[in-house]
Amino acid sequence: MTNIAFSDKTKGLSGSAIRATFKLLADPEIISFAGGAPSSSLFPCDVLGTVAEEIFRTFGNTALQYGITEGYAPLRELVRERLVRQGIIHEGDDIAITTGGQQVIDLTAKVLLNEGDCVVTERPSFVGGLNCFRSYNAVIDDVPVESDGMDIDYLEENILKKKRIKLVYTIPTFQNPTGITMSLEKRKKLLNLADRYDFYILEDNPYGSLRYSGEEVPSIKSLDVSGRVIYGGSFSKILSPGLRIGFFSAPSEIFEKMIVCKQVTDVHTPVLTQLIAYTFVTRYDIDAHIKRACELYGKQSSFMRSCISRYFPDYCSVTNPEGGIFLWCSLPERFDGEELFRKAVEKKVAFVSGAACMADPLKKYSSFRLNFSNASMENIEKGIRILGEVIESY
Amino acid sequence: MTNIAFSDKTKGLSGSAIRATFKLLADPEIISFAGGAPSSSLFPCDVLGTVAEEIFRTFGNTALQYGITEGYAPLRELVRERLVRQGIIHEGDDIAITTGGQQVIDLTAKVLLNEGDCVVTERPSFVGGLNCFRSYNAVIDDVPVESDGMDIDYLEENILKKKRIKLVYTIPTFQNPTGITMSLEKRKKLLNLADRYDFYILEDNPYGSLRYSGEEVPSIKSLDVSGRVIYGGSFSKILSPGLRIGFFSAPSEIFEKMIVCKQVTDVHTPVLTQLIAYTFVTRYDIDAHIKRACELYGKQSSFMRSCISRYFPDYCSVTNPEGGIFLWCSLPERFDGEELFRKAVEKKVAFVSGAACMADPLKKYSSFRLNFSNASMENIEKGIRILGEVIESY
């Protein structure tokens, strides 16, 4: 019990699960499938060193002085043009730069949610999204993810018909943590429900560019004609997470309100990191860079899946994503993911247990998330072999 | 009227005043005393270019990969040691890195304030602080600033004896917008009241290193023995605001809660900018750099004050700060600062009108803030001369 009168919205908040995981990652002996980090092997360090040095030489004052809250104008325009060209946003949509994709979730929550308001997430969902909604004291309802995305009928029958909801949070493409992509049909249905039941959709799309098989599915934003969708994206998985460059597009009134909130949060995203992202994209071939990432992640994903079929018992199932950086493993219900996590860590292998990805983390879950993007092939094989042994001997 | 059901805390928020000011700053013909930017002439662009290039060459993966929420450990330790050595924090105090000093205000507000909770600020105060508290639907009461800082008797008699308050927000050293420093006696009294009336103090100290005359006054944090003070600092005014590197120290439970909230806000501050600040401070003489800033700002402050005595009517008064980057001008009550602002902008001179710095911005105020740190001596003279004419002809 604390003596400090924390705000109602934050008094129950605890970051210990994630923070414990971060500490594990620091142990060099751990094979970690727990993070969500892109492969360090892809970082264009030499190129960015040259870019940074040149920025200081030619735009030093811009890089070091205050910038505007919406972001460095040429970067905003560059991102806007790319997203329009990719058919993700409409020609008239505006873009602002954020301090990572996480800030898009935070700003959306802040401008839309009162304490006690209801948010719907996928089950399972992204732990950073769930914790963010918790930090606003939102009530989180979740909807099962099927092999073609969120169960839209469940959403309508079990939630929308029973209560007023304010926001649906979805990662429709290569979802975190399942890797699953929502079908076009479900995207249309979700938008239709948004109009009928008057809620907004936060389409979080950090992994969308990382497709290594299958066909593109239009963004929910691109299908939106009535101003229901806030779209969030990021350079974290295609260039660097350490630079913390995210972006969003939103209906204009929401866009403006999010900017006002960003101003009181961090004034603006660092200018230097924005200039680096801008210069890299304009000067080098980011699409070739993304293609290399897709090739690597496709190989890692398929290798991890083949290791799973070799080393895990037959009763384990795993998703088969067409992109992104995660697999989701499901075990029979007798397994407790938290217990499995502890046993695995004793054997120096880490993952994210299912509970961390759930609106109600206190129940037992037998599923867990595996990340492959920042592990060597050798460690993927070794880690999955050990994990198989841990499951067998459970 | 909007159709969008914004959260109660943000529906009344408007950033238009600041945003309008930012747009003015973009007009190259405007002589702006409105911002709070350090002098671009001090930016060590060449040095930082070399530093950045070297970081990418030797620590590229660290710079580009995810970091931990508390910040880059060597930078945290470096800042901690400096603050301990300067007597600002105690030996056992911890430090975390934030995305600019503004984030310290935001995290403090988030962990401590429910909607409707009362915050006390100085009158006048920092617009970014005021707007941040507004964005949490806090009730803001303000306490007049006297020549030796916040009127502590007023605080007790008119506020503390009448209502429960949660937080006092103060910029005790070279206050924004007045430049005034709170006396040691008042700092002790404020701490004493915090214990008696059970509130916390956010000591925001972005300007503390920029002393060009007078004697150091101990930080409120250094006087705190009962865990009442959250201390916020920043590299914005001593190195670069564009890098967005701030930091804080807080009683351990508050510290932990602020970190959990930072995690859901932006995960961590960009690693590259932290590495740049770290490398600059360890490799170059930041104290010599700060000394150059103090010399320049001392000259600018004293020159702007001499221009004011020359060009402003005798009924204008102005503060005489011992450091920092702002002067506060007071005119007779018949002047309306907003009206004066519009007239000044017509003549291509900008400042921050008093209303922007007040808890109740809808009243009329005859005072205004002048910033001198990023203006040339020539523009200081020209701008103050024009402003004098605008006042004369009001």
Residue A234 in this model has a pLDDT that exceeds 90: yes
Q: Model confidence over A105-146: pLDDT tens digits?
A: 999 999 999 999 999 999 999 999 999 999 999 999 999 999
Tell me if B369 sits within 8 A of B318, measured CB to CB.
no
The predicted structure's pLDDT at residue A28:
83
Measured between beta carbons, which residues in chain A are less than 8 angstroms from residue B46?
56-57, 60
Which helix (H) or strand (E) segment is B247 a member of?
A: strand B245-249
Q: Cα B319 from chain centroid?
A: 17
- d(CA B192, CA B92) in angstroms, rounded, equals 22
Mean pLDDT of the A329-358 span: 94
Residue B24 in this model has a pLDDT that exceeds 70: no
The predicted structure's pLDDT at residue A266:
97
Note whether A15 contacts B: Cβ–Cβ < 8 A. Answer: yes
For A83, half-sphere exposure in the C-beta direction (CA atoms, 13 angstrom radius) is 30
Q: Model confidence over A258-287: pLDDT tens digits?
A: 999 999 999 999 999 999 999 999 999 999
H-helix segments, chain B? 8-11, 16-26, 45-64, 73-85, 102-112, 127-134, 152-154, 184-197, 220-223, 252-266, 271-283, 286-311, 337-346, 377-392
Q: Do A40 and B22 touch (CB under 8 A)?
A: no
Q: Give the minimum alpha-carbon distance from B169 to chain A in angstroms, rounded to a whole number.
A: 15
Q: Give the minimum alpha-carbon distance from A210 to chain B in angstroms, rounded to a whole number.
A: 17
Q: Model confidence over A14-64: pLDDT tens digits?
A: 865 556 666 666 788 999 999 999 999 999 999 999 999 999 999 999 999
φ, ψ (nearest 5 deg) of residue A118: -100, 130
Q: Give the minimum alpha-carbon distance from B197 to chain A in angstroms, rounded to a whole number.
A: 13
Tokens 């929550």, residue located: A109
Of A45, A55, A268, the CB nearest to B60: A45
Pick from B236, B250, B245, B233: which is nearest to B278 by CA?
B245
- d(CA A1, CA A8) in angstroms, rounded, equals 14
Q: Do A263 and B15 touch (CB under 8 A)?
A: yes
- The CA-to-CA distance between both ends of chain B, in Å, stands at 35
Note whether A17 contacts B: Cβ–Cβ < 8 A. Answer: no
From A4-8, A25-29, B351-355, the region with the lowest mean pLDDT: A25-29
Cβ under 8 Å to B: A residues 104-133:
105-106, 110-115, 117, 128, 131-132
The predicted structure's pLDDT at residue B22:
63
Residue B23 in this model has a pLDDT that exceeds 80: no
Report the side by side order of strands in the sheet with A149-150.
Answer: A96-99, A245-249, A229-234, A200-204, A167-170, A118-123, A139-146, A149-150
The predicted structure's pLDDT at residue B16:
53
Mean pLDDT of the B165-172 span: 98
Note whether B228 contacts A: Cβ–Cβ < 8 A. Answer: no
The predicted structure's pLDDT at residue B113:
98
- d(CA B379, CA B39) in angstroms, rounded, equals 13
Of B35, B265, B272, the CB nearest to A242: B272
Residue B20 in this model has a pLDDT that exceeds 80: no
Note whether A206 contacts B: Cβ–Cβ < 8 A. Answer: no
> What proportions of chain A, in percent to the nearest 5, are helix, strand and coil?
45, 15, 40
Q: Do A60 and B45 touch (CB under 8 A)?
A: yes
Measured between beta carbons, which residues in chain B are less than 8 angstroms from residue A261?
10, 13, 135
Interchain CB contacts (distance < 8 Å): A and B: 273
- The CA-to-CA distance between both ends of chain A, in Å, stands at 35
Mean pLDDT of the A183-196 span: 98
Q: Model confidence over A309-326: pLDDT tens digits?
A: 999 999 999 999 999 999
Q: Model confidence over B191-240: pLDDT tens digits?
A: 999 999 999 999 999 999 999 999 999 999 999 999 999 999 999 999 99
- d(CA A301, CA A45) in angstroms, rounded, equals 25
Tell me if B34 sits within 8 A of B327, measured CB to CB.
no
φ, ψ (nearest 5 deg) of residue A120: -105, 130
Q: How confident is the model at residue B2 (pLDDT cuts 50, 70, 90)?
A: low
Minimum CA–CA partner of B129 in chain A: A264
φ, ψ (nearest 5 deg) of residue A140: -105, 120
Tokens 């203006």, residue located: B375
Residue B181 in this model has a pLDDT that exceeds 60: yes
**Helix-helix angle B127-134:A252-266, to 10 degrees:** 120
3-state secondary structure of B379: helix
The per-residue DSSP string of A174-234 comes to S-TTT-----HHHHHHHHHHHHHHT-EEEEE-SSTT-B-SS-----HHHH-SSS-EEEEEE
Tell me if B211 sits within 8 A of B301, measured CB to CB.
no
Q: Give the minimum alpha-carbon distance from A107 to chain B in angstroms, rounded to a whole number.
A: 8
Mean pLDDT of the B38-60 span: 96
| Average pLDDT of the residues of chain B | 95
The predicted structure's pLDDT at residue B47:
96
Tell me if A269 sits within 8 A of A234, measured CB to CB.
no
Pick from A92, A78, A84, A93: which is nearest to A248 by CA?
A93
**Two tokens, residue B148:** 């030796």
The predicted structure's pLDDT at residue B27:
80
Cβ under 8 Å to B: A residues 158-197:
166
The residue among A50, A66, A126, A226 with the most chain B CBs within 10 A of its CB, best to mutate, is A66
Minimum CA–CA partner of B200 in chain A: A4
Mean pLDDT of the B363-374 span: 96
Give the rounded percent of residues in chain A with a pLDDT score beyond 70. 96
Cβ under 8 Å to B: A residues 351-380:
none
The predicted structure's pLDDT at residue B249:
98
